[in-house]
Every structure is written in C-alpha cells, then in structure tokens.
Structure 1
Amino acid sequence: MSTTVNEPNDDQVIVRRCANYGPTIWKYEYIQSLNSKYVGEDYEKKAEKLKEEVKTMILEKMESPLEKLELIDTVKRLGVSYHFEEEIKTCLDNIYKDTNWLSGVLDLYDTALRFRLFRKHGYNVSSDVFDKFKDKNGNFKNSLPEDTKGLLSLYEASFHGFEEESILDEAEEFFCETLVWWENLGWSKKLPFLRDRLVECYIWSIAEVYDPRPEFQYCRSMTARITQLITCIDDIYDVYGTLDELELLTDAFIRWDVKLIETLSEYMKICFLGNVNSINELGYESLKEVGVHALPYLIKAWTDLCGCYMKEARWFHGMYVPSFEEYLNNGWMSVAGHVLAIHGYFLFCCDSHRITEKGLEAIKNNHDIIKWSSMILRLVNDLGTSKNEMERGDILKSVQIYMHETDASEEESQEQIKKLIGKAWKKINTSRAKPNCPFDNIYIDIVTNIARASHFMYQYGDAQMRMDIKLKGKTRIVSPCSLLSQFLFPLIDMNYSKSI
C-alpha cells in the first residue's frame, strides 16, 4: 500500500508507503480509570506476611524436594520469584547436590522438572538423564504416553536443549506425536472440511468443570474430546453430507454397528469408526475406574443426537419449516447439551459424587436440569447464529421460525427468545431446589455450567464458527488479574496448585 504526498515548500512528489494501521483499541479515559483496591498499609502487611511464609516453605516447611521444586516453578510462573531469589538459589543448590539421576525414585515428571529448573538457573546437567526412559532400540518407551503429566514436563524440558543435543529434539517430536489426541484421531488430515476447534472445546470444558482438584482433570480432558467429536458430527449433518449419505450414517449410529461401515461413504467411515471407538473407550474407562457400565447410556445419548440431526437435515433438504414448538422439541437435543451432561456423569468420581440408580434413571430420561440447561444452550446459540451460517446449510433457527409463525419483527422475536431463556433458568432453579433431586451438588453445578458457558461462548456470536469472535473471546479468557490474587491462590492449598 502506498500514498502520494507533497512535502511543504517543495514541488517534488514523494511516494511513501502506508501500513494502514488501525486506531488503538484502548480508550485513554479507560486506562486512566484503572486502579487497584489492593493498596495501602493493610495490604502491604499481608503481602509481607505471605512472602515470609513462602520463604519458609521453600527453605524449611516442605520436606520433599519435588514439592519444593513445584513451589519454585509456581512462583516463577506467577512472576513473583524476584521476591525469593536468595531462597530459590539456596534450595536449588541443595537439591542439585543431592540429586542422583540414576535413582529409580526419579520418574519422568520429577526428572524433567529438575532438568528444566537446573538448566534455567545455569546448573550443569546432561541431557543423558533422559536415556533411562528409552528402550533398547533408542526410542522413547511406548509406556510414556500413559504418564500425561510426565510427558508434558518432558515437553517443557525439551525447550532447554543445547546445540548438538538430539535427545531433546526427539523428546519434542515424541510429545507432538503421542500426546495430542486430535492429531492421533486423524480427522484433521483425512477430513479437512471439519472444524478444528480443540482449544475452544477445552474452553467449554473449563467453563463446565473449573474445579482445579486433580480428580477433575480427566473430566475436563474428556469433555473437550467429546465436544470436538460433536462439532465434527454436526458439520457433517449440517453442511457436508448429502441426504442419502446422512440416512446411512444415522442408521449406523442408531444401531451402533461397526459392520455397517461398508455402507458408508469413504469419508464417513473414518468419522463413524473413530467416534464409536472413542465412546467405547470412555465406556471401558468408566467400567474399569468407577465400576459402572456406562456404555448403554453413552450410546443412547449419541443415537438420540444423531436422530435429531437427521430430522433437521430432512427439514433443510425438504425446505420444511417446523412450528416453533416442533423446532424446540427437537432443538434442545440437537444442540448436544444432553450428550455433554450424560458423559459428565461418568467422567469423575470423588467423595462428594457417587453414581446411583436414581441418578442413572434420571440421566436416561433427561432430567429437567439436563433438559433446561440444554434448552438454554439452544436458545442462546440461536441468538448468536448469523444469516450467513444458515445460508451455508443450517436450518432456520428459533428467532426466524418465531418471526415466520407470528409475523413478529426480528427484534421482537429476539426479545421473546430472551424471555424463554429467563423462564428456563427458573425451571433449573426450581429443579435444583427440590428435596428429591437425584443428583449431588457437584454434578448439578456441572450441568448448570453448560448453560452458563453458552452465555459466554455466544455473547458476540457463534465462537465455535467464526474466527473474528475468537479474538474477543481471547481478551476475556486471558484477562489481567491482580497480582495478589495470583499470589494467594497457590498458598491456599499447595495440593491444588499442582493441577493448575
């Protein structure tokens, strides 16, 4: 891009480049208005007290070297390690001297954490310390992917390699090949027309299950997987598949029969088999870890979902406009909130969450808390769906159907949808308060959070579909927080900080 200008007092025309930079997004009045409530003598005293407590923890209180290293890593990540430079050096000196790299006590996580922190602080450590995690052929052992925490620690350590150190390059490559489930599934390469939204799906999982305790980590990871699977199946039904192809795919899903793979189009074979294998694996893990045969409930959730997808596909290809009631009766399930809720019931186990016969019966029948949370997800989703998305293959949404049925304006229809969202929240509140509710509070919160998350994800439009909306979402996810709150959190319970 260029522009032509005349310099003052000069007849010569000079052509200068122009970058077309946009104006600043920051209002100076807003910047000037920023302030912190964590100021004054009281907070200064609290900060000093906390600093002394952390110093004591680094040098004395924590007995295990691993716990001390994790604490050092935590305060460095929080950006407050400059308060404890002397204590950190003393602690690292002592641990470095006592470290026996050949010891069987040091697992992959511990070894990689020590390696990274020692190298970061200038200690002499050979990358040969990772040789014990290789097999006789010189490859990293096949069992390592089972240790997700250790593998992630190895990946972080791989960025501290020196020139001529091939083992750390191998470690990075090994991590990328084994840890990311989505890549292993192969859909992003074999089915490039599908949305790759793994990060957005993980944001959904955080919104649903934000408890940092270790027992909820698996639930978040699996919820992200399920959400990505749902997103891909939705793309096939909404956009890519022909009506005949979708009829065959729906029949295969409803019968949950891998033998029917031969009836499917080539692109559908990998999609169907990958989905079935993933859900069967979850069913197996639930049986192994929790002792509950979850698979029939998981399969029913998916067959119900695909049946609803198929109905909407028939509506679209037949140019049929359902009634508002007919649309919502199908739509609260086609938005897949019930799939997330039902899977969530089996994805974690702790003292305050027990799987019961009443609970199983309730999820099978889509209890009111599940139904109305899903209804909110549907309605909020519809408010954020643009006309362009419908032109790409979506059926008419609740706003447009209400307009068609009542001759209301678009604004009036949107207001009606918002009223229905409010009524749905009241139904959830009523169901939560009933004394005979079959669910515990933890699971109730998880299901309710599906509805809460929808308000976040669709406030500016469909954040699963449009990339420009994600830029707004990023500023809301990665937002500034007070230093004091970041500093306090790991001190409240060091056991929690390990899972962050």
Structure 2
Amino acid sequence: MLCDAKSSSELMLAIDCVQKLDVEHHFEEEIVAALESLYRESYADQLHRRVNTLHEAALLFRLLRQTRYPVFTDHKRGEFMPSLTGGSHGIVSLLEASYLNTGEAILYEANRFATHHLNSSMPHFAPHFAKFIRQTLAHPYHVSLQSYRARRFLVSFGGGEQGRRKIVEEFARRDFKEVQLLRLQELEQVTSWWETLGLARELKFARDQPSKWYTWSMTVLSNPKFSSYRVALTKVIAFVYLIDDIFDVYGSLDELELFAKAMNKWELSANIDPLPFCMKITYTALFETTNEIAQMIYKEHGWNPMDSLKNAWIELCNAFLVEAKWFEQSQVPTSHDYFKNGIVSCGVPVVLIHIYFLLGQAITHENVSCLETYPNLISCPATILRLWDDLGSAKDEEQDGKDGSFLECFMKENPHCSFEVAKEEVMRLITKAWEELNKESFSSSTKFSRDFVECCLNMARMVRVMYSYNEEHKLPMFEDYVNLLLIENF
C-alpha cells in the first residue's frame, strides 16, 4: 500500500490507515520516505492541483504538520475553499486536522464548523457510520491515545473491509495480540519488582497500584521496542505516587521538612534517623532505584544522568513541601503561585526527564540545560495534567488528602465568578496548553527527538483517560482503556 500507491491520494490514505491501526512502528522508514515525497510534491505545488476534496486537503495538512513539515493555513482568506468537497468523510478529516492547532483562528473555525455539522447530521447517518462519528467526536485522533482508538476501531468497526485494507486490519489484530502479550510480560516484571521491594507491606496508607503505574508507562512509551524502558519508568512513577502520599496523607509538617531536607542532601549518609520508618525505607529505595536507572542509562548511552535525575526528585519533594505548608497554614495561594508550583508537583517533569535519558536520543549539554528549565514539551503536559486533575475534583481512591485546587485559588481571586465560569477558565487554559505543546511538537527547529516529542504528546493524551471522573468518582474511560489493551482478547 505504501510502496505501490498509484496516486498521491492512495499514498495519503495508506499512511493514514497504517497510523490509525497503530502499526506504524513496523513501517517507519517507508512512511518517512512517503511523507518526504508528498511534501516535495506539495512544495512544488504539483500536489495542490491534484487535491480536489476536503478530505484529501485536510488529511494532507494533518500528515505533514504532525511530521514537522512546515505547512500553513491560509490566513488571508480565513475561509474554506468552495471547490473542496467530499461530504461527511471530508468533514471528519477537517475535524481531525483542526486539533493540530498552534493558535490559528481558521482552525478554531474548522473545529467549530466540523463539530456542529457532524452533530447536527447525526440523525441522517446510517447507524454504523453514526457510531464511528460519535467515537471520532469523543476521541479525536491527535489528542487521543492511538492504541486505544485502534483497538476500539477493530472491535467496533473492523471486519467490513475488503482487499488490501482487510489484510492490514488482520495484520493489526495479530500485531495487537503480540504487543498485548509483551505488555502482560512487562506488567509481570513490574509486579514482581514491587512485591520484592516490600514497600506495600510497610506503607499501608499509600496506594498499591502497580498495574495503574504501568499503564502510564505503557501509554507514554508506546513503541514496543522500548520494553526495558517501560519497566524502568514504572518504577519512577511508583515513587512519584508513594512520595505524593507521604506528603499528602501521612507526614506531619515537621516530618515532611526533615524528609525534604534529606532529599536535598541526596546521599545515603544523610541524617534520616529522626524520620518515621516508612520515610526511611522510601528514601533508601528511591536512592537505590534511581542509581540503578542511572547506571542502565550510562551503560546503554554513555551519559551519566545522575545529577539531572537527582535534581528532578529534589524539586518534586520541595514542591510537595510548599503545598504541605500552604495546607498547614490554611493558606490559599495566588493562582499564579499555585500553578507554578503545581507544574512541578504533578510529577510530569520528573517522569519526562527520566524518559529523555532512557531514550538516549539527542543528549547534549545544551539540551539537558534546556530540559531542566521545563520547556513547553514538559510544562505543557504538566499544565494539562494539573488542570484536568483539579477539574475532576475527585480524590484518587477517595483519599482524604491535602491537595489544593486551581479552581479554589481562581475563585478566591475572582469572587464574582461562578464555579462554572472558573471551569471555563480551566478549559481555556488546557486548550492554550495544547496549542503551545503543538507548536513545539510540530516545529522543525526543535532540539529534541521525534520519540521524545511523541512521549510528551502521549503524556498529555493520557491525562483525560486518567482523570475523567464520573459522578460516582470512578474512571470509566480508564477502566475501558485497561480492559481493551490488557485484558480482553479478540
């Protein structure tokens, strides 16, 4: 399909098919070559003369922009070309393209137009197509987890194709089964490590959720070739949750200050004797695990990341301590102060910094320095997570913790605003963070590798799955995600 395409249209559709069925990792070189060909034709203006439908135009825009090719919307006209037609499939492609917005007004209009058109046309669609449209509206390609969408598609809509598309769907099914088996093996490794570590027996107050921690790693480092990195990253995520629980539901302020002081020293000889036993064993286990990961990175990539990893953990604990002091003093910080601290305390920076070194790609002193200032690739996913978590207003596992909320801070500063207005402000900030993340992700001048950029995007995509609480304080989307990718056979 990729090599034998007889037209640009066939080639675009083949790439789209392979990507949306989540088997792109098998055909990376072919897709790179195909997109280069499409871009060269587009740049020479040969392709535009052959793009006659809205579907093809929107698909070309999305394929090129998500691969960092410099493609632009028509700012002068600010409207859709009347000559582009293509019915509902074209509108779906327009909707998908609109989510690659870097702040362009015409893409806002495209999103509004496409969403309204598809919703208003729903009664006229055949049941099968209407179901597909509802799935697309709920889970747009760019802001959704592709493994989830592909699995959902194969369950709900697959099986009706013929010819090459049918072969590709069957290939995707077999590939999914192999990847699912790999995930279960990795989860078994993680569970064994967690049980051997023994912290769950000593930290009765803390969350004991190795499967949930692994789900983050499975999602963010989605390429099957990163198996050992997923296992290592799950250990990092486990400690983010554990230390959060120590600060949020266990320690007194005096104990937490001593724990943070020991963390800032970052040495086994640090004075941890005054600490409660649970803090001592957590500190020691974190120290040893981080050293193991640093040694793994040095062995594979020839770079010792210890200083960067250590600093990331220290900053996380210091951010947790700031929040603990706010709670102890019954202080509601300014929304600016809460937000600035919350970007660190959400745990995203420490996770993405570990991922950067685990990947071992584009590691330079300049990039490491940039990384430690939390560029948009890190701060935007952190912003999205912090705000979605606050928007949910539900405690994980119904813990009675000491978390603050951006909504609380915002409403104190703006007493005239209703809760609904505050929620609208949060959604506006989330949309803005996605725009900034897109801008950095699609920039051809970014210093970071495609794999790392994809991890940052996947971190942002996972947020809605992990923090979309319903009225019963449950996570139906997350439960469906885990069920589809780890449990169900088909």
Does structure 1 retain, via aligned residues, the 8 Å contact 2:210–2:238? yes
Which of 315, 325, 331 is the aligned partner of 1:320?
Answer: 331
Map of 2:238 onto structure 1:
228
Tell me: CA distance 1:478–1:267, structure 2 relative to 1, closer, same or farther (3 Å). closer
Map of 1:209 onto structure 2:
221
Map of 2:319 onto structure 1:
308
Measured against aligned partners, the alpha-carbon deviations of 1:329-348 in whole angstroms (never above 9, x if no partner) come to 11111101101110001113
Distance 1:428 1:461 in 2: 27
Measured against aligned partners, the alpha-carbon deviations of 1:156-195 in whole angstroms (never above 9, x if no partner) come to xxxxxxxxxxxxxxxxxxx99x971111111111111110
Map of 1:421 onto structure 2:
430
Tell me: CA distance 1:326–1:480, structure 2 relative to 1, closer, same or farther (3 Å). closer
User: Is 1:359 matched with 2:364?
Assistant: no
Which of 185, 197, 202 is the aligned partner of 1:185?
Answer: 197
Q: Which moved more, 1:323-332 or 1:452-461?
A: 452-461
Larger radius of gyration: 1
Distance 1:334 1:273 in 2: 21
Does structure 1 retain, via aligned residues, the 8 Å contact 2:468–2:477? no
CA positional deviation for 1:368 = 2.1
Distance 2:263 2:167 in 1: 61
Distance 1:328 1:405 in 2: 14
Does structure 1 retain, via aligned residues, the 8 Å contact 2:323–2:404? no
User: Is 1:329 matched with 2:340?
Assistant: yes
Which of 376, 379, 395 is the aligned partner of 1:371?
Answer: 379
Q: Secondary structure at the match of 1:258?
A: coil
CA positional deviation for 1:447 = 1.6
Distance 1:452 1:76 in 2: 20
Which of 234, 251, 268 is the aligned partner of 1:241?
Answer: 251
Which of 388, 397, 400 is the aligned partner of 1:392?
Answer: 400
Q: Secondary structure at the match of 1:396?
A: coil
Q: Secondary structure at the match of 2:484?
A: coil
Tell me: CA distance 1:232–1:461, structure 2 relative to 1, closer, same or farther (3 Å). farther
Distance 1:262 1:234 in 2: 21
User: Is 1:437 matched with 2:446?
Assistant: yes
CA positional deviation for 1:435 = 4.3
Tell me: CA distance 1:32–1:187, structure 2 relative to 1, closer, same or farther (3 Å). same
Tell me: CA distance 1:337–1:387, structure 2 relative to 1, closer, same or farther (3 Å). closer
CA positional deviation for 1:479 = 3.5
Does structure 2 retain, via aligned residues, the 8 Å contact 1:315–1:395? no
Distance 1:444 1:261 in 2: 38
CA positional deviation for 1:38 = 2.9
Which of 157, 160, 163 is the aligned partner of 1:39?
Answer: 160
Which of 333, 345, 348 is the aligned partner of 2:356?
Answer: 345
CA positional deviation for 1:313 = 0.2
CA positional deviation for 1:37 = 5.5
Tell me: CA distance 1:389–1:189, structure 2 relative to 1, closer, same or farther (3 Å). closer
Distance 2:339 2:168 in 1: 56
Which of 472, 479, 489 is the aligned partner of 1:474?
Answer: 479
Tell me: CA distance 1:456–1:47, structure 2 relative to 1, closer, same or farther (3 Å). closer
Q: How does 1:152-167 map to 2 (within 5 A)?
A: none
Tell me: CA distance 1:431–1:272, structure 2 relative to 1, closer, same or farther (3 Å). same
Distance 1:304 1:267 in 2: 21
Does structure 1 retain, via aligned residues, the 8 Å contact 2:468–2:475? no
Map of 1:266 onto structure 2:
277
Map of 1:170 onto structure 2:
none
Map of 2:308 onto structure 1:
297
Does structure 2 retain, via aligned residues, the 8 Å contact 1:301–1:338? yes
CA positional deviation for 1:392 = 1.8
Q: How does 1:13-32 map to 2 (within 5 A)?
A: none
Distance 1:383 1:373 in 2: 15
User: Structure 2 length normalisation: TM-score?
Assistant: 0.61
Q: Relative CO higher for 1 or 2, CA cutoff 8 Å, sep ≥ 6?
A: 2
Distance 1:382 1:249 in 2: 26
Map of 2:290 onto structure 1:
279
What letter is aligned with 1:234?
D
Tell me: CA distance 1:266–1:375, structure 2 relative to 1, closer, same or farther (3 Å). same
Taking every aligned residue pair, what percent have the same amino acid on both sides? 29
User: Is 1:256 matched with 2:266?
Assistant: yes
Does structure 2 retain, via aligned residues, the 8 Å contact 1:261–1:273? no
Q: How does 1:18-97 map to 2 (within 5 A)?
A: 36=157, 38-39=159-160, 42-43=162-163
Tell me: CA distance 1:387–1:479, structure 2 relative to 1, closer, same or farther (3 Å). closer
Distance 2:274 2:254 in 1: 11
What letter is aligned with 2:462?
A
What letter is aligned with 1:474?
E
CA positional deviation for 1:371 = 1.3
CA positional deviation for 1:459 = 1.6
Map of 2:464 onto structure 1:
455
Distance 1:381 1:186 in 2: 29
Measured against aligned partners, the alpha-carbon deviations of 1:276-314 in whole angstroms (never above 9, x if no partner) come to 111111111111221101010000000000000000000
Does structure 2 retain, via aligned residues, the 8 Å contact 1:362–1:438? no
Aligned length: 335
Map of 2:64 onto structure 1:
none
Tell me: CA distance 1:325–1:264, structure 2 relative to 1, closer, same or farther (3 Å). same
CA positional deviation for 1:358 = 2.5
User: Is 1:198 matched with 2:248?
Assistant: no
RMSD (CA atoms): 3.8
CA positional deviation for 1:328 = 0.4
What letter is aligned with 1:367?
P
What letter is aligned with 1:360?
V
| Structure 1 segments unaligned to the other structure (5+ residues) | 1-28, 55-73, 79-112, 114-147, 156-174, 488-500
CA positional deviation for 1:258 = 1.9
Distance 1:389 1:473 in 2: 14
User: Is 1:403 matched with 2:411?
Assistant: yes
CA positional deviation for 1:75 = 9.4
Map of 2:143 onto structure 1:
none
Tell me: CA distance 1:391–1:412, structure 2 relative to 1, closer, same or farther (3 Å). farther
Distance 2:333 2:485 in 1: 46
